[in-house]
Each structure stands twice: as C-alpha cells, then as structure tokens.
C-alpha cells in the first residue's frame, strides 16, 4: 500500500470513529481532531513530493552557470576521484565590444566594427580543480581575405593547493598591469583600451607555462611563474608594426611557440585597505630562442611596471607606469635582419586617470572620466653605424575625455574624444557598446 492509500484509509477510520460520539461537544472535538490530522497528512505528503523532486533534479544534468570560474575558489576537503562533479559544474561566460571611430579631420575614414566577441566556458571537476577557456573572435569575420582573427585567449587548468595558494598550467594571461587579466569593456574607462597597456604591455598577453598565486590575510597577493617568451626572429622589417607595440610584434600566443628560451615573472599587490590597491611586476625572458641563425644569441627583454588604484566615495583614481628594455640586440641590429628596422634599447609609458560616478539610479549610472597618457615605443638604438640609426620620435601624448553610461553593471554605452597633443591628425571621436556575462 502506497503513502496516498494509507492517507485515505486513515482519514476513513477517523471519520468512522467520529460517528460514535454521544454528544454535540464530542462530535465537535472529534471533527477538530480529524481536521488537524488531515492537515498534518497533507504537510507530510508535500514534504515527500519535494524530497522526490530534489532527488530527480540531482540525477538530471544541471544548466550552465552564468558566472565565470573564479581565479581562486574557496577550499573544501578533497573529493575522491570516483566522485562525480557537483551540480552546476559547467559555467559559461564571456564579453563583447562593438565600436565606431570617426577621425576628427577625415570623416571619410570613419569605421565601425564588431571589435571583439569572446566565448568563455569552464568546468569544475571538484572544489579544488577547474578548467577554463576563452575563445576570441576579432572584427566579426575570419577568413583568408578578411582582417578578422580567432584565437584562444586562455586555455588552462587551475588547482587550489591549499586555502592561500593556487596553481595554473596551460595558456593563460599574465597578471601584469591592470588590464591584461581584467579587460572586459565594462571594467575600464573609454571605448578603446588605454595606450600604455596596449603598446608597452601587450594587450591580452598570454603565454604557455606554469603560474602560482598566493594570498594572505593581511591583503598581500603575489604571483610568480615560468612561461614561454617572445621570439626575436619574428621582428618585422615594417617599423609601423613594431612602433605600435614592440612586444606585440614578436609575441607567440601559444601557436607552435619556440620554447628554447623561457621567461619568468613575479608580481606583488597589496589590497589590505578597502578600495585601495598598489603593486608592481617584473618580467624577464630570453628572445633569441637558441636559433643558429640568430645574430644575437643572448638577446633578452625585461619589462617592469608599477600601478595603483584608489576608489573612495564616487571617485575612481588610477595610475600606471611601465618600462621595457631589450638587451644584447646590437649584433641583430647590425645584421641584415635588423638594419631596416632596428630593435630599440628601451620603450616606456605611463598614464593617470580620474573617473567620477556622477549619477546613479538603480542599475543605471553615469561615470565621466579623463585620462592622460605618455608613450614612446622606440628610445635609442645600439649596434648601428654612426648616421644610420633612425631618429628617436618624441613621446606620444594623449588626452582621452568621455563617459561610460551603464544600463546595468554588465552593460555599458561609451563615448569619448581623443586628442593627440603632438599629432592632431590622429584626433578622433569614439562610440562603443560593451557587455560581459
């Protein structure tokens, strides 16, 4: 006899028992007892139904979560290898940005593009081990005749060694500067990524290797790792590309990356004061890759940067400075490979930015900002005969003034104007839409 039939039989017995009452008071008391017991039976039936539904849901594959896999998850006791993944182990995340740029002095060169679309997905094997990947499509269309690109931004496995230490292995973004790891359009000011963290620190700079991250209760956070480096053999003869970003011109992005010369990085941040961050990083890597044809077999590069951010009240203030140096590139510059476009000894840049949340109502908010940047991607050259070294260009000095209008913390409309103080032909107006999920 199932639970439902038991309830009906019990109710019938209670009704029959009520018929033997001798007085109206007895009948009333019996009827009240009957109602109370029937109410209790209904509650028990509802509890049983809820329990059965819960078991059914656990046996059914869960829907993907909407948030990305966090960099460092909370630590729980190890899960036995035979234990299945917890519900909601799969997560989907990503971001997109679309923009339009109108040169101030040449409207005919106005361009609109679906600049980036990133599809991210992750899987949590247990509370300690997880996988994450980001697949990026640039400029909407990818083919041999188009300017689009498709690439993995990240592809790695991360494991929590203990509560304050985690490790990742695979293809991942280096934790250098502010924007390289956190570059969703809702998280930075302006339509375009800032010039310093694009030209000096390559944007979405990723390498293959092993990285460690540690935290402390005092607010210190450190990163260290060994990864693939750059390849000087990729240095182009076209100076336009190297002046745009010296390191960006020779990065390998995990595509059959030469790994004879590796690189090492170390990062230290302090987050112990709410709303305040200060930190810095150092990167050192060989770039000759032990190639027999390389004129500079011991060539290397060093990149150092310092950064700080202070969020107080409605203000958001930030500053960052970075400097890179190429070492032992004289022979390369003197060779046929380098003479047309020599490798600079030094490249550097810095910016300061102030943003203010002027208005907020519900999810809506308006945040105007101003940013000043100063960048030079080619300072001094070594190994060249007197008179053959190219002239050193002056620093690029740039003002960007605009506003982010948030429809939701994860959806933003952007408008800004950029003024190049040493080349007004580059002045432009930018309009953009960005989101992350």
What confidence tens digit (pLDDT) does each residue in 314-363 have? 999 999 999 999 999 999 998 866 678 899 999 999 999 999 999 999 99
Average pLDDT over residues 87-94: 88
What is the per-residue pLDDT for 29?
A: 55
> Who's near 294: CB < 8 A, 6+ residues apart?
232, 233, 288, 332
Ranking 53-67, 228-242, 264-278, 308-322 by mean pLDDT, the lowest is 53-67
Provide the pLDDT confidence category of residue 31 given band limits of 50, 70 and 90: low
CA pair distance 394, 402, nearest whole angstrom: 26
CA dihedral 33, 34, 36, 38 (to 10 degrees): 160
Distance CA 202, CA 173 (A): 11
Segment among 71-80, 144-153, 218-227, 390-399 with least mean pLDDT: 71-80
Q: What is the pTM of this model?
A: 0.79
Q: In this predicted model, what pLDDT tens digit does every residue of 171-216 receive, in sequence order?
A: 999 999 999 999 999 999 999 999 999 999 999 999 999 999 999 9
Predicted pLDDT at 63: 35
Residue 24 has pLDDT above 50, yes or no: no
List beta partners, residue 264: 226, 284
Of the listed ranges 44-53, 100-109, 339-348, the least confidently predicted one is 44-53
pLDDT reported for residue 308:
98
pLDDT (0 to 100) of residue 423: 94
Average pLDDT over residues 22-33: 50
Local confidence band at 387 (pLDDT 50, 70, 90 cut-offs): confident
Residue 11: predicted pLDDT: 41
> What's the confidence (pLDDT) of residue 388?
78
> Are the C-beta atoms of 339 and 389 separated by less than 8 Å?
no
Residue 103: pLDDT above 90? yes
Does pLDDT of 15 surpass 50? no
Lowest-confidence segment of 4-8, 95-99, 251-255, 360-364 by average pLDDT:
4-8
What is the mean pLDDT of the segment spanning 148-157? 95
Q: Is-contact 282 175, C-beta < 8 A? A: no
CA dihedral 242, 248, 254, 258 (to 10 degrees): 40
Mean pLDDT of the chain: 85
Arithmetic mean of pLDDT, 98-112: 96
Q: Which of 34-38, 72-76, 367-371 has the highest mean pLDDT?
A: 367-371
Angle between helix 3-18 and 24-59 (nearest 10) = 170
Residue 111 buriedness (CB in 10 A; 0-12 / 13-18 / 19+): exposed
Compute the distance between CA of residue 178 and CA of residue 248 in angstroms, rounded to an integer. 17
pLDDT at 20: 36
Separation of alpha carbons 86 and 292, rounded Å: 52
Most confident among 50-59, 90-99, 136-145, 383-392 (mean pLDDT):
90-99
Closest CA to 399 of 197, 201, 195: 195
Query: Where is 339: in which H helix or E strand?
Result: helix 336-339
d(CA 286, CA 263): 6
The confidence score (pLDDT) of residue 42 equals: 62
What's the alpha-carbon Rg for the chain, to the nearest Å? 31
- CB-CB contact of 363 with 407 (8 Å): yes
> How many other CB atoms are found less than 10 A from the CB of residue 158?
23
Closest CA to 31 of 11, 56, 59, 55: 11
Asked if the model's pLDDT at residue 49 lies above 60, the reply is no
When pLDDT is averaged across residues 300-315 and rounded to a whole number, the result is 98
Cα 177 from Cα 280, distance rounded (Å): 8
H-only helix segments in 199-256: 239-244
CA angle in degrees (0–180, nearest 5) for 82-84-85: 135
Q: Which two tokens stand for residue 283?
A: 């990167």
- Residue 298 exposed, middle or buried by CB count within 10 Å (0-12, 13-18, 19+): middle
pLDDT average, residue stretch 370-376: 98
């Amino acid at each position: 006899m199932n639970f439902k039939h038991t309830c009906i039989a019990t109710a019938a017995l209670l009704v029959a028992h009520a018929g033997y009452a001798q007085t109206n008071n007895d009948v009333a008391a019996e009827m009240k007892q009957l109602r109370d017991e029937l109410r209790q039976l209904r509650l028990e039936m509802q509890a049983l139904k809820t329990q059965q539904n819960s078991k059914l849901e656990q046996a059914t594959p869960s829907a993907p979560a909407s948030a990305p896999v966090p960099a460092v998850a909370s630590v729980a006791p190890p899960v036995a290898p035979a234990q299945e993944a917890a519900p909601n182990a799969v997560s989907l995340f990503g971001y997109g940005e679309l923009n339009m740029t109108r040169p101030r002095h040449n409207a005919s060169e106005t361009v609109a593009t679906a600049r980036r679309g990133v599809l991210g997905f992750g899987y949590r094997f247990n509370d300690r081990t997880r996988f994450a990947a980001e697949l990026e499509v640039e400029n909407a269309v990818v083919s041999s005749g188009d300017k689009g690109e498709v690439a993995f931004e990240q592809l790695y496995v991360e494991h929590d060694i203990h509560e304050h230490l985690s490790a990742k292995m695979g293809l991942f973004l280096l934790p250098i500067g502010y924007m390289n790891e956190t570059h969703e359009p809702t998280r930075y000011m302006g339509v375009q990524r800032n010039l310093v963290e694009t030209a000096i620190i390559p944007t979405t700079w990723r390498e293959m290797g092993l990285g460690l991250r540690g935290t402390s209760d005092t607010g210190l956070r450190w990163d260290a790792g060994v990864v693939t480096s750059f390849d000087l053999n990729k240095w182009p003869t076209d100076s336009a590309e190297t002046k745009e970003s010296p390191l960006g011109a020779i990065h390998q992005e995990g595509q059959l990356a030469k790994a004879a010369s590796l690189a090492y990085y170390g990062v230290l941040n302090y987050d112990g004061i709410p709303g305040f961050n200060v930190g810095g990083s150092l990167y050192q890597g060989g770039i000759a890759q032990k190639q027999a044809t390389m004129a500079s077999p011991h060539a290397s590069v060093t990149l150092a940067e310092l950064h700080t951010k202070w969020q107080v009240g409605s203000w958001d203030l930030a500053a960052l400075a970075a400097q890179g140096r190429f070492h032992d590139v004289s022979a390369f510059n003197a060779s046929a490979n380098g003479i047309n476009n020599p490798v600079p000894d030094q490249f550097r840049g810095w910016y300061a930015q102030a943003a203010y949340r002027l208005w907020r109502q519900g999810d809506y908010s308006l945040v105007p900002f101003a940013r000043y940047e100063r960048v030079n991607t080619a300072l001094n050259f070594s190994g060249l005969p007197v008179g053959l070294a190219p002239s050193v260009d002056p620093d690029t000095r740039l003002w960007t003034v605009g506003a982010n209008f948030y429809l939701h913390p994860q959806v933003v409309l952007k408008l800004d104007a950029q003024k190049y103080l040493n080349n007004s032909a580059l002045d432009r107006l930018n309009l953009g839409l960005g989101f992350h999920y």
